[in-house]
Amino acid sequence: MQSVRALGPLAKNGRGRLSAQAFREDPMTQPSMDVARFAAGDAAQAARVLDKVRSATLSGQRAPLDPRPVIGESWGRMLRSGVDPDHDVRAGVLGPDEVQRRRRESPLQYVLPVLREGLLSVADLAHHIMVVADAEGRVLWREGSRPVLHRADGFGFEVGADWGEDVVGTNGVGTPAVVRRPVQVFAAEHFVRSHAAWTCTGAPITDPRDGRLLGVVDISGPWETMHPATLAWVDSVAKLAEARLRELHLTSLDRLRSVAAPILAKVPGRALVVDTDGWTAAVAGMPYLDRLALPKAIGTDRIWLPALGPCSVEPLPGGWLVRASDTVPAPRDATRIGLDVSQPRRWTVTVAGGTGTWTHELSPRHAELLYLLALHRGGRSAAELADDMFGDPARTVTVRAEMSRVRRYLGAVLEHRPYRFCEHAEVQVTLPDDPFGLLPHSTAPAVLGSRGTAPGSWRPRVGAPVTG
């Protein structure tokens, strides 16, 4: 496995910030540190070693060990974005009114009891605090040990603060939001030096309805309180929170179903009732669909939906009555498909045709798959996509299951055998300005190749992007 390190002094730009240009590959193999096991035995020694790794790597000297891949990749992003490792930057803290507004609008408010029950009692005893941030990295709730809360105030880890990775560097709030998986950041694994006295462990919480990132729950405290089981603990509680959101969604569908039953009994032809996110509560005259891809804005006029064709819609309490028409063919000409993967999260696909335009927000996995299909307009077999996604062409069952879900909302513009966008569609892909920012959560070999990142290494190399 190739490793990467900084060789030679890091250049500084006109603002005195470190440049990423000094990073290059080193063909010599270099192990990374098993931080959890090391710190469990001797946290102080682990912190000292990590400080040497950080200092050597960022100064261009040979480090005794490589940073862990998830940390090294984050450091690379920080250097490219110009985050200063020697000075913390505290973006404007949200005022109380804005914090309250975000709390009211966040689905995370409904899982606070789950998070508190699962984390707070232990966190207080262990001299930790629990932090809940939204998808943008803004701290909305912060509770736990009073002395630790006071210490957190000292470096701006407070309610309303922006702890996005691109603002304050590698940390247990912003980094899990980027990579979409649990991350523990111990001591000098933090990119900004002033955070090196801290340990943070965060896990993303996603909306079970659409895979959208809702925020991150984080347990933080002084580095000497680090425990190797913290990562699994925080991740398990985050999954309990997602399960609670799933229960609440099913309950809301049950309520909508009770409203829909007498209405559907009187409607001739194909019809269904869906909630505001497109999840089906009840159907009549047609096979059951789990979910409809709905346009962002729905009027009460006729619309075209990829799964049903032309439809009429009527508002219901908590959803829509959708009536399909069999008299008008689905549009087949001048279809434009726009795939937007330019942001580190919130990727979308937009379909525009003769009967209107609709946009669907993509889950991380679906964003990867559609990007790969846009990259290969001739199509990809299930085995080829499995190799692209997992480096294992045998994982076709997983690919077929995911593509089946994709075709539920893109069925009119996707073909199969092989999987591909239909020939009559014009496909445009909006990419990030920095190729390294392409789907930063992804570990798919084909996506890493487009970024220029060799599987197993943490330093991206620039690759050829897809052009629109």
Q: In terms of DSSP bridges, do strands 414-415 and 420-421 run parallel, antiparallel, or are they unpaired?
A: antiparallel
| CA pair distance 412, 6, nearest whole angstrom | 49
pLDDT at 20: 41
Choice among 196-205, 216-225, 231-240, 334-343 with the minimum mean pLDDT: 334-343
Q: What is the pLDDT of residues 342-368, one digit of tens each?
A: 988 889 998 876 555 778 889 899 999
Say whether pLDDT at 27 is over 50. no
**Greater model confidence, 227 or 264:** 264
Say whether pLDDT at 464 is over 70. no
For the chain, the distance separating the N- and C-terminal CA atoms, rounded to the nearest angstrom, is: 34
pLDDT at 159: 95
Nearest to 134 by CA among 110, 157, 107, 155: 107
- Under CATH, which number does the domain 96-247 receive? 3.30.450.40
Choice among 178-187, 319-328, 340-349, 372-381 with the minimum mean pLDDT: 319-328
Q: Provide mean pLDDT across the span 445-452.
A: 86
Say whether pLDDT at 93 is over 60. yes
Instruction: Report the range out of 53-57, 178-182, 346-350, 351-355 with the highest average pLDDT.
Output: 178-182
Choice among 74-88, 93-107, 156-170, 403-417 with the minimum mean pLDDT: 403-417
pLDDT at 456: 42
Q: For the chain, what are the domain ranges?
A: 3-81, 96-247, 267-324, 335-451
Rg (the chain; Cα; Å): 24
Q: Cβ distance 308 to 270 under 8 Å?
A: yes
Say whether pLDDT at 306 is over 90. no
pLDDT at 453: 54
pLDDT at 87: 80
pTM of the model: 0.71
Q: What's the mean per-residue pLDDT of the chain?
A: 82
Q: Provide mean pLDDT across the span 189-213.
A: 91
14 three-class SS: coil
Choice among 5-14, 126-135, 414-423 with the minimum mean pLDDT: 5-14
Q: Cβ distance 137 to 177 under 8 Å?
A: yes
Residues 6+ apart with CB under 8 A from 116: 130, 143
Q: What is the pLDDT of residues 96-111, one digit of tens each?
A: 999 999 999 999 999 9
Pair of tokens at residue 196 = 């090196």
pLDDT at 39: 60
How crowded is residue 225: how many other Cβ atoms within 10 Å of its Cβ? 18
**Greater model confidence, 438 or 29:** 438
259 three-class SS: helix
**Greater model confidence, 155 or 61:** 155
pLDDT at 22: 32
Q: What is the pLDDT of residues 404-445, one digit of tens each?
A: 888 877 876 888 889 998 877 889 999 998 888 899 888 899
How crowded is residue 421: how many other Cβ atoms within 10 Å of its Cβ? 21
Q: In terms of DSSP bridges, do strands 425-430 and 335-340 run parallel, antiparallel, or are they unpaired?
A: parallel
